[in-house]
Amino acid sequence: MPKVYISPSVQQFNPCEYGDTEKDHCQLYADILQRYFDACGIEYKRNYNKTFQEAVAESNEWNPDIHYACHTNAYDGRTRYSVLLVYNAVMSSPAYRCAEDIKQFRAQVYPYPIYVNQNRSLYEIRYTTNPCVYDEIVFHDNVDDATLFHVRMQTFAELTARGFCEYFGIPFVFPQGVGLEPGVSDTGPLAPGMGFDMPIEATCDELKRIYADSQDELNNMREKYNMLRRDINRLLELYK
């Protein structure tokens, strides 16, 4: 049975534009991902609140096929792409091949660039004795990226699981009776233990309308901000 150590972010002080934190949404994403792993026959261990050092030590002792660290990124509030980091970005690297499989499936839900890049400085990449895929899924300081990740979290998790199944050469299987079956509307992350009859808060068309309205509101706010900045600059020039 394939083995994956799931290491979601525990960075609770990184605020997300959607209203939670990096730790909150990465832990919830891992909750959903592990239910796909259960269905597909992928054995896993999970970090809930350990430090990076503790998680790496536990992972090394357990000896998984892949150490999967899942995080979200931040930069300037405008940048948006998805990147999977590995120690060796060469085709012979198991981590690189696994990351490429995840990337190919992620492209079905994430319409912006997705990269597989080499990184040898991050602790979980550098000190795991087994192949590590360090996944920076989206930018949580970009409101559009953060919204997409939260609204389509179920799909992000499913496609990551499909990537792992492709890498391990095993069939993908939908979980049964937990709200993740084919055809269930993906209107947001599912709370752990919720069933198929969970209430759906919005249809896909309604979400598209809400998203479009939020974009209009955001553009209006940007325009007002720019006007205010121009007024402030004029006043500063006046009183110099």
Read off the pLDDT of residues 13-57 as tens digits, 9 standing for 90 and up. 999 999 999 999 999 999 999 999 999 999 999 999 999 999 999
Architecture of domain 3-168: 3-Layer(aba) Sandwich (3.40)
Structure tokens at 222: 């940007």
CA distance 136 to 31: 17
Query: Over the stretch 184-209, which tens digit does the pLDDT of each residue have?
Result: 667 666 544 433 333 445 556 666 66
Its pTM stands at 0.78
Q: Annotate 158-221 with DSSP letters as a single string.
A: HHHHHHHHHHHT------SSSS-STT---SSPPPTT--TTPPP---HHHHHHHHHHHHHHHHHH
Predicted confidence (pLDDT) per residue in 111-138, tens digit: 999 999 999 999 999 999 999 999 999 9
Domain ranges of the chain: 3-168, 202-240
Q: Measured over all CA atoms, what is the biggest interatomic distance in the chain, rounded to whole angstroms?
A: 72
Cα angle value 187/24/174 (rounded, 5°): 45
Instruction: Give 116's strand partners.
Output: 84
| In the chain, % of residues over pLDDT 90 | 72
What residue type is 14 in one-letter code?
N
